[in-house]
Amino acid sequence: MKTRITEMLGIKYPIVCGGMMWLGTAELASAVSNAGGLGIITALTQPTPEDLAKEIKRCREMTDKPFAANLTFTPRPKARPYEEYAQVIADSGLKIVETAGNNPEPFVAIFKKAGMKIIHKCTSVRHGLKAEKLGCDAISMDGFECAGHPGEDDTPNFILLPAAASKLKIPMLASGGVGDGRSLVAALALGAEGVNMGTRFMATKEAPMHDNVKQAILAGDERGTALIVRKFRNTSRVYRNAVANKILEVERQEGSTFEDIYELVRGAGNQNVYQTGNIDGGTWSAGMVMGLINDIPTCKELVERMVAEAEEIIEKRLTGMLRR
Protein backbone atom coordinates (compact mmCIF):
# COMPACT_ATOMS: atom_id res chain seq x y z
CA MET A 1 0.00 0.00 0.00
CA LYS A 2 1.19 3.51 -0.77
CA THR A 3 -0.13 6.69 0.85
CA ARG A 4 1.30 10.07 1.79
CA ILE A 5 2.04 8.57 5.22
CA THR A 6 3.99 5.55 3.94
CA GLU A 7 6.00 7.88 1.70
CA MET A 8 6.69 10.41 4.42
CA LEU A 9 7.67 7.89 7.11
CA GLY A 10 9.43 5.40 4.84
CA ILE A 11 7.28 2.44 5.93
CA LYS A 12 5.74 -0.39 3.92
CA TYR A 13 2.19 -0.30 5.31
CA PRO A 14 0.16 2.70 6.60
CA ILE A 15 -0.17 1.20 10.08
CA VAL A 16 1.24 2.81 13.24
CA CYS A 17 1.28 1.53 16.82
CA GLY A 18 0.63 4.63 18.94
CA GLY A 19 2.65 5.44 22.04
CA MET A 20 1.49 3.34 24.99
CA MET A 21 2.62 4.07 28.54
CA TRP A 22 4.40 1.03 30.06
CA LEU A 23 3.94 -1.02 26.85
CA GLY A 24 5.78 1.02 24.21
CA THR A 25 9.14 -0.68 24.76
CA ALA A 26 11.76 -1.88 22.28
CA GLU A 27 10.08 -5.32 22.10
CA LEU A 28 6.75 -4.01 20.80
CA ALA A 29 8.15 -1.11 18.76
CA SER A 30 10.65 -3.30 16.89
CA ALA A 31 8.01 -5.99 16.27
CA VAL A 32 5.64 -3.46 14.65
CA SER A 33 8.42 -1.91 12.57
CA ASN A 34 9.74 -5.30 11.47
CA ALA A 35 6.18 -6.11 10.38
CA GLY A 36 6.24 -3.14 7.98
CA GLY A 37 4.36 -0.65 10.18
CA LEU A 38 5.73 2.08 12.46
CA GLY A 39 6.58 1.07 16.03
CA ILE A 40 6.88 3.69 18.76
CA ILE A 41 8.99 3.82 21.92
CA THR A 42 7.06 5.64 24.65
CA ALA A 43 9.53 8.05 26.21
CA LEU A 44 7.97 8.48 29.64
CA THR A 45 7.87 4.72 30.23
CA GLN A 46 11.61 5.06 30.76
CA PRO A 47 12.35 6.40 34.27
CA THR A 48 15.01 8.88 33.10
CA PRO A 49 16.11 10.52 29.82
CA GLU A 50 19.31 8.41 29.98
CA ASP A 51 17.20 5.23 30.12
CA LEU A 52 15.30 6.46 27.07
CA ALA A 53 18.56 6.85 25.14
CA LYS A 54 19.43 3.23 26.04
CA GLU A 55 15.98 1.95 25.05
CA ILE A 56 16.20 3.64 21.64
CA LYS A 57 19.64 2.07 21.15
CA ARG A 58 18.26 -1.33 22.18
CA CYS A 59 15.39 -0.98 19.68
CA ARG A 60 17.84 -0.07 16.93
CA GLU A 61 19.60 -3.38 17.57
CA MET A 62 16.26 -5.19 17.10
CA THR A 63 15.18 -3.57 13.82
CA ASP A 64 16.76 -1.84 10.86
CA LYS A 65 13.39 -0.34 9.90
CA PRO A 66 12.12 3.16 10.85
CA PHE A 67 10.65 3.53 14.33
CA ALA A 68 9.67 6.59 16.39
CA ALA A 69 9.49 7.93 19.94
CA ASN A 70 6.36 9.26 21.64
CA LEU A 71 6.52 12.21 24.01
CA THR A 72 3.30 12.78 25.94
CA PHE A 73 2.85 15.99 27.90
CA THR A 74 0.68 15.39 30.95
CA PRO A 75 -1.53 18.15 32.42
CA ARG A 76 0.99 18.68 35.24
CA PRO A 77 3.62 20.83 33.45
CA LYS A 78 6.54 19.98 35.73
CA ALA A 79 5.68 16.30 36.13
CA ARG A 80 8.73 15.10 34.16
CA PRO A 81 11.81 16.81 32.64
CA TYR A 82 10.22 17.07 29.17
CA GLU A 83 13.02 19.21 27.70
CA GLU A 84 15.58 16.55 28.56
CA TYR A 85 13.47 13.73 27.11
CA ALA A 86 12.92 15.84 23.96
CA GLN A 87 16.65 16.48 23.61
CA VAL A 88 17.44 12.76 23.91
CA ILE A 89 14.89 12.05 21.15
CA ALA A 90 16.34 14.81 18.94
CA ASP A 91 19.92 13.57 19.52
CA SER A 92 19.05 9.89 19.00
CA GLY A 93 19.13 9.91 15.22
CA LEU A 94 15.44 8.94 15.05
CA LYS A 95 13.65 10.58 12.15
CA ILE A 96 10.09 10.52 13.54
CA VAL A 97 8.51 11.70 16.79
CA GLU A 98 4.90 11.44 18.00
CA THR A 99 3.85 14.23 20.36
CA ALA A 100 0.67 14.10 22.41
CA GLY A 101 -1.25 15.43 25.35
CA ASN A 102 -0.74 19.16 24.98
CA ASN A 103 0.45 21.92 22.67
CA PRO A 104 3.78 20.72 21.17
CA GLU A 105 4.91 24.29 20.36
CA PRO A 106 7.83 24.49 22.84
CA PHE A 107 9.40 21.37 21.27
CA VAL A 108 8.76 21.82 17.54
CA ALA A 109 12.00 23.75 17.00
CA ILE A 110 14.11 21.09 18.79
CA PHE A 111 12.71 18.29 16.62
CA LYS A 112 12.79 20.29 13.38
CA LYS A 113 16.42 21.25 13.98
CA ALA A 114 17.18 17.52 14.13
CA GLY A 115 15.40 17.04 10.77
CA MET A 116 12.58 15.00 12.31
CA LYS A 117 9.01 14.46 11.12
CA ILE A 118 6.50 15.35 13.84
CA ILE A 119 3.22 13.47 14.13
CA HIS A 120 1.00 15.31 16.60
CA LYS A 121 -1.90 13.51 18.22
CA CYS A 122 -5.12 15.52 18.57
CA THR A 123 -8.78 15.00 19.28
CA SER A 124 -10.31 17.93 17.37
CA VAL A 125 -10.11 19.69 14.01
CA ARG A 126 -9.09 22.98 15.66
CA HIS A 127 -6.13 21.39 17.42
CA GLY A 128 -5.12 19.66 14.17
CA LEU A 129 -5.10 22.99 12.35
CA LYS A 130 -3.07 24.55 15.16
CA ALA A 131 -0.48 21.74 14.94
CA GLU A 132 -0.32 22.16 11.15
CA LYS A 133 0.33 25.88 11.63
CA LEU A 134 3.10 25.14 14.14
CA GLY A 135 4.92 23.08 11.51
CA CYS A 136 3.93 19.51 12.43
CA ASP A 137 4.15 17.12 9.48
CA ALA A 138 1.18 14.83 10.18
CA ILE A 139 -1.75 14.47 12.55
CA SER A 140 -2.88 11.39 14.42
CA MET A 141 -6.59 12.09 14.97
CA ASP A 142 -7.98 10.31 18.03
CA GLY A 143 -11.77 9.91 17.82
CA PHE A 144 -14.16 9.43 20.73
CA GLU A 145 -13.74 5.64 20.42
CA CYS A 146 -10.07 5.69 21.38
CA ALA A 147 -8.32 4.28 24.40
CA GLY A 148 -6.64 6.84 26.62
CA HIS A 149 -7.58 10.50 26.24
CA PRO A 150 -10.40 11.22 23.75
CA GLY A 151 -10.69 14.90 24.76
CA GLU A 152 -13.94 16.53 25.82
CA ASP A 153 -15.72 17.05 22.47
CA ASP A 154 -16.97 13.44 22.07
CA THR A 155 -16.72 13.48 18.27
CA PRO A 156 -16.53 9.94 16.83
CA ASN A 157 -14.26 9.21 13.89
CA PHE A 158 -17.13 8.87 11.41
CA ILE A 159 -17.48 12.67 11.69
CA LEU A 160 -14.08 13.77 12.99
CA LEU A 161 -11.98 12.26 10.18
CA PRO A 162 -13.84 13.69 7.16
CA ALA A 163 -14.27 17.03 8.96
CA ALA A 164 -10.50 17.18 9.56
CA ALA A 165 -9.60 15.87 6.09
CA SER A 166 -11.58 18.71 4.50
CA LYS A 167 -9.50 21.31 6.32
CA LEU A 168 -6.02 19.90 6.88
CA LYS A 169 -3.31 20.04 4.22
CA ILE A 170 -0.90 17.69 6.01
CA PRO A 171 -1.67 13.95 6.04
CA MET A 172 -3.62 12.36 8.86
CA LEU A 173 -3.72 9.00 10.62
CA ALA A 174 -7.07 7.72 11.86
CA SER A 175 -6.72 6.76 15.50
CA GLY A 176 -9.28 5.13 17.75
CA GLY A 177 -11.47 2.14 17.01
CA VAL A 178 -9.26 0.60 14.34
CA GLY A 179 -8.91 -3.16 14.60
CA ASP A 180 -8.89 -4.87 11.22
CA GLY A 181 -8.76 -4.45 7.44
CA ARG A 182 -12.31 -3.11 7.38
CA SER A 183 -11.39 -0.23 9.68
CA LEU A 184 -8.28 0.46 7.59
CA VAL A 185 -10.34 0.78 4.39
CA ALA A 186 -12.95 2.92 6.19
CA ALA A 187 -10.22 5.22 7.53
CA LEU A 188 -8.77 5.69 4.05
CA ALA A 189 -12.25 6.33 2.64
CA LEU A 190 -12.90 8.98 5.31
CA GLY A 191 -9.81 10.91 4.30
CA ALA A 192 -7.01 9.45 6.44
CA GLU A 193 -3.74 8.26 4.90
CA GLY A 194 -3.19 5.49 7.42
CA VAL A 195 -4.20 4.21 10.85
CA ASN A 196 -2.86 4.41 14.40
CA MET A 197 -3.80 1.59 16.79
CA GLY A 198 -3.32 1.04 20.49
CA THR A 199 -5.71 -1.53 21.94
CA ARG A 200 -5.38 -3.90 18.96
CA PHE A 201 -1.60 -4.01 19.45
CA MET A 202 -2.04 -4.78 23.18
CA ALA A 203 -3.48 -8.15 22.17
CA THR A 204 -0.40 -9.31 20.27
CA LYS A 205 2.22 -11.86 21.24
CA GLU A 206 4.95 -9.21 21.55
CA ALA A 207 3.03 -6.73 23.78
CA PRO A 208 5.05 -6.75 27.02
CA MET A 209 2.25 -7.51 29.47
CA HIS A 210 0.67 -10.39 31.37
CA ASP A 211 -1.50 -12.78 29.38
CA ASN A 212 -4.47 -12.16 31.74
CA VAL A 213 -4.78 -8.62 30.37
CA LYS A 214 -4.71 -9.88 26.77
CA GLN A 215 -7.40 -12.45 27.66
CA ALA A 216 -9.53 -9.70 29.26
CA ILE A 217 -9.37 -7.76 25.98
CA LEU A 218 -10.47 -10.85 24.04
CA ALA A 219 -13.34 -11.49 26.46
CA GLY A 220 -14.39 -7.80 26.50
CA ASP A 221 -16.72 -6.25 23.97
CA GLU A 222 -17.47 -2.74 22.66
CA ARG A 223 -19.34 -1.89 25.89
CA GLY A 224 -16.44 -2.88 28.14
CA THR A 225 -14.84 0.53 28.65
CA ALA A 226 -15.58 3.48 30.94
CA LEU A 227 -14.89 7.22 30.68
CA ILE A 228 -13.28 8.32 33.92
CA VAL A 229 -12.12 11.76 35.18
CA ARG A 230 -14.86 13.43 33.07
CA LYS A 231 -15.85 15.60 35.98
CA PHE A 232 -12.36 17.19 35.99
CA ARG A 233 -12.15 17.60 32.19
CA ASN A 234 -9.30 15.15 31.70
CA THR A 235 -11.40 12.28 30.37
CA SER A 236 -9.76 8.92 30.01
CA ARG A 237 -11.20 5.79 28.38
CA VAL A 238 -10.20 2.74 30.39
CA TYR A 239 -11.16 -0.90 30.76
CA ARG A 240 -14.31 -1.03 32.91
CA ASN A 241 -13.15 -2.86 36.04
CA ALA A 242 -13.76 -2.54 39.77
CA VAL A 243 -11.41 0.45 40.09
CA ALA A 244 -13.03 2.32 37.17
CA ASN A 245 -16.48 1.72 38.68
CA LYS A 246 -15.27 3.01 42.05
CA ILE A 247 -13.89 6.19 40.41
CA LEU A 248 -17.21 6.77 38.62
CA GLU A 249 -19.04 6.37 41.92
CA VAL A 250 -16.83 8.98 43.63
CA GLU A 251 -17.16 11.36 40.64
CA ARG A 252 -20.96 11.16 40.95
CA GLN A 253 -20.82 12.30 44.57
CA GLU A 254 -21.67 15.96 44.89
CA GLY A 255 -18.68 18.10 45.82
CA SER A 256 -16.10 15.35 45.21
CA THR A 257 -12.69 16.64 44.12
CA PHE A 258 -9.81 15.28 42.03
CA GLU A 259 -7.93 14.53 45.26
CA ASP A 260 -10.70 12.06 46.14
CA ILE A 261 -9.84 9.93 43.09
CA TYR A 262 -6.13 10.67 42.74
CA GLU A 263 -4.87 7.46 44.35
CA LEU A 264 -7.24 5.38 42.18
CA VAL A 265 -6.26 6.96 38.84
CA ARG A 266 -2.54 7.46 39.21
CA GLY A 267 -0.30 5.67 36.75
CA ALA A 268 1.35 3.20 39.12
CA GLY A 269 -1.87 1.16 39.10
CA ASN A 270 -1.77 0.25 35.45
CA GLN A 271 1.90 -0.73 35.48
CA ASN A 272 0.98 -3.13 38.28
CA VAL A 273 -1.88 -4.59 36.18
CA TYR A 274 0.40 -5.29 33.20
CA GLN A 275 3.06 -6.93 35.37
CA THR A 276 0.92 -9.04 37.71
CA GLY A 277 -2.07 -9.76 35.47
CA ASN A 278 -4.49 -8.63 38.20
CA ILE A 279 -6.95 -6.86 35.89
CA ASP A 280 -8.61 -5.16 38.87
CA GLY A 281 -5.27 -3.92 40.24
CA GLY A 282 -5.65 -0.38 38.87
CA THR A 283 -7.00 1.56 35.89
CA TRP A 284 -5.68 0.66 32.43
CA SER A 285 -6.43 2.16 29.04
CA ALA A 286 -8.49 0.17 26.54
CA GLY A 287 -10.70 1.20 23.63
CA MET A 288 -14.14 0.23 22.32
CA VAL A 289 -12.36 -1.70 19.57
CA MET A 290 -12.17 -4.54 22.11
CA GLY A 291 -15.42 -5.61 20.44
CA LEU A 292 -13.45 -6.47 17.27
CA ILE A 293 -10.53 -8.31 18.92
CA ASN A 294 -10.72 -12.08 19.04
CA ASP A 295 -7.16 -13.38 18.89
CA ILE A 296 -3.54 -12.78 19.92
CA PRO A 297 -1.48 -12.82 16.72
CA THR A 298 2.12 -11.71 16.29
CA CYS A 299 2.46 -8.11 15.08
CA LYS A 300 3.54 -9.45 11.69
CA GLU A 301 0.48 -11.71 11.41
CA LEU A 302 -1.79 -8.83 12.44
CA VAL A 303 -0.34 -6.24 10.08
CA GLU A 304 -0.19 -8.59 7.08
CA ARG A 305 -3.73 -9.85 7.71
CA MET A 306 -5.09 -6.30 7.94
CA VAL A 307 -3.43 -5.28 4.70
CA ALA A 308 -4.56 -8.44 2.85
CA GLU A 309 -8.11 -7.93 4.10
CA ALA A 310 -8.08 -4.23 3.14
CA GLU A 311 -6.78 -4.98 -0.35
CA GLU A 312 -9.43 -7.63 -0.87
CA ILE A 313 -12.20 -5.27 0.28
CA ILE A 314 -11.01 -2.53 -2.08
CA GLU A 315 -10.40 -4.80 -5.07
CA LYS A 316 -13.38 -7.12 -4.75
CA ARG A 317 -16.15 -5.89 -2.49
CA LEU A 318 -16.02 -2.16 -3.24
CA THR A 319 -15.06 -2.41 -6.91
CA GLY A 320 -17.84 -4.98 -7.33
CA MET A 321 -20.34 -2.38 -6.13
CA LEU A 322 -19.56 0.01 -8.96
CA ARG A 323 -22.22 0.18 -11.67
CA ARG A 324 -20.23 0.29 -14.87
Ligand X SMILES: Cc1cc2nc3c(=O)[nH]c(=O)nc-3n(C[C@H](O)[C@H](O)[C@H](O)COP(=O)(O)O)c2cc1C
Give the binding site for ligand X (CB under 6 A).
18-21, 23, 42, 70, 72, 100, 121, 142, 145-148, 175-178, 196-200, 202, 285-287, 289
Nearer to ligand X among residue 267 and residue 321 (C-beta): 267
In angstroms, give the least distance from the CB of 202 to ligand X: 6
State the Cα–Cα distance between residues 284 and 240, nearest whole angstrom. 9
Nearer to ligand X among residue 36 and residue 80 (C-beta): 80
Nearer to ligand X among residue 282 and residue 324 (C-beta): 282
Counting every residue written for the chain, the total comes to 324
In angstroms, give the least distance from the CB of 6 to ligand X: 19
In angstroms, give the least distance from the CB of 216 to ligand X: 12
In angstroms, give the least distance from the CB of 79 to ligand X: 12
Nearer to ligand X among residue 165 and residue 195 (C-beta): 195
State the Cα–Cα distance between residues 133 and 281, nearest whole angstrom. 42
State the Cα–Cα distance between residues 220 and 200, nearest whole angstrom. 12
Instruction: State which H helix or E strand residue 184 sits in.
Output: helix 181-189
Nearer to ligand X among residue 256 and residue 309 (C-beta): 309
In angstroms, give the least distance from the CB of 285 to ligand X: 4
In angstroms, give the least distance from the CB of 269 to ligand X: 12
| Beta strand pairing call for 194-197 and 225-228 | unpaired
State the Cα–Cα distance between residues 253 and 212, nearest whole angstrom. 32
Tally the C-alpha atoms within 13 A of residue 307's C-alpha that lie toward its C-beta: 18
Contact 118, 112 (CB under 8 A): yes
Q: Helix crossing, 242-252 with 258-265: angle to 10°? A: 170
Scanning 190-241, the segments in alpha helix (DSSP H) are: 199-202, 211-219
Nearer to ligand X among residue 68 and residue 261 (C-beta): 68
Nearer to ligand X among residue 42 and residue 92 (C-beta): 42
Residue 53, SS3 per DSSP: helix
In angstroms, give the least distance from the CB of 263 to ligand X: 20
Residue 285: closest CA among 306, 300, 299, 269: 269
Instruction: State which H helix or E strand residue 265 sits in.
Output: helix 258-265
